[in-house]
Structure 1
Amino acid sequence: MFRCFFPDEYLDSAYVVDYDRLYREGYRGLIYDIDNTLVPHGAPADERAIALFAHLRELGFGYCLLSNNQIERVSSFADAIGAQFIENAHKPSVRNYKKAMELLGTDTGNTIFIGDQLFTDVYGAKRSGIRNILVKPIHPKEEIQIVLKRYLEKIVLHFYKKEEGIS
């Protein structure tokens, strides 16, 4: 019943992903959400985010930020890490996931999406045919509409964890 929202992988953070392994496996494009995936909601790019994207560049990954935020927020973050971006993406709509792959020159077979929300990030990636990684939110402070969705996410994650044998 909830399978369309189940992530392909569930990790503690975008900063613990084994990017070296993913590159060896043939992945070349990474699409990221920003808020509560890479930094707390509304925060600028910090040293950890800047270092991560420098490492991704060294490995040879292309990356794109895909955010439902407006251009001011997304462009300032993207400039700080040297990323392409799509703002006001209307996730979980498929259109901008596909546009991000076009910008990266990748396809569904060699692209991964990383985000912190099931009903926007993961669901949109799954609908687009992109492998996805759900990460735990970095910080508990969130906008009210996201707080409400988190209650529903807990139910879906309960069934996901049960099916995957995760405690």
Structure 2
Amino acid sequence: MKIMFEKFFPDEYLGSTYKIPFEKLYEQGYRGVIFDIDNTLVPHGAPADERAKRLFQRLREIGFESCLLSNNQKKRVEMFNQEIQTHYIYNALKPARKNYLHAMEIMGTDQTNTLFVGDQLFTDVWGAKRVGIHNILVHPINPKEEIQIVLKRYLEKIVLHFYKKSKKRLKKVAN
């Protein structure tokens, strides 16, 4: 069972986008960050808030390129990006590989120095894994979601159960 789910396991799993140590990641050689928007940066459908604006300012100061990669329509992504002013791709069809690759092309990065941050395993993380970029799964900001996402969350819980179990097993082996 575990092997069946491994292709969905994130490289890292953190509580929030806003707790990611971007300075450390830059020191490790990362130069581009691709972000999902809804429930990764802000609650579903919300405009960019002060926290999101500060994050993108901080990323620019560190030296990162960034790109929003969203399955949402143009109007939603442009509304969010008004205050952020970064690269973006809407209607991305995640987990399809094409727009992850396009985002890296736009940022001038590649699989070795790009990371992806998102809140969903079956779109965000799996798409990033399919193109070979480091991915960070974050807890969704707001539990209130559209029905199709609520249904996916049940399946995600199963995968995350096996992910956490495998992490515990690796910890025991390391000790």
- TM-score (normalised: structure 1): 0.98
| Alignment: residue pair count | 166
2:75 corresponds to which letter in structure 1?
E
Q: Deviations over 1:56-93 (max 9, x none)?
A: 00000000000000000001212211111000000000
Aligned to 1:40: 43
Corresponding residue of 1:25: 28
Rounded to whole Å, the distance in 2 between the matches of 1:54 and 1:47 is 11
Aligned to 1:165, what secondary structure does the other structure show? Answer: helix
Structure 2 stretches lacking a partner, 5+ long: 170-175
Cα distance in 1 between the residues matched to 2:60 and 2:79:
19
2: CA distance, partners of 1:55 / 1:85: 18
Q: Give the residue type in structure 1 aligned to 2:32.
A: G
In structure 1, the gaps of 5 or more residues are: none
Alignment partner, residue 153 of structure 2: 150
Structure 1 residue ranges (4+ consecutive) displaced by more than 2 angstroms after TM superposition = none
2:78 to 75, 80, 88: 75
Query: Deviation digits for residues 28-59 of structure 1, max 9, x if unmatched?
Result: 00000000000000000000000000000000
Query: What are the within-5 Å matches in structure 2 for residues 9-158 of structure 1?
Result: 9-158=12-161
Residue deviations 1:2-33, cap 9 Å, x none?
Answer: 00000000000000000000000110000000
Deviations 1:134-153 (A, max 9, x none): 00000001010000000000
Alpha-carbon distance in 1 for matches of 2:43, 2:79: 15
- Give the RMSD, CA atoms, in angstroms: 0.8
What percent identity do the matched residue pairs reach? 67
Normalized per residue, the structure richer in helix is 2
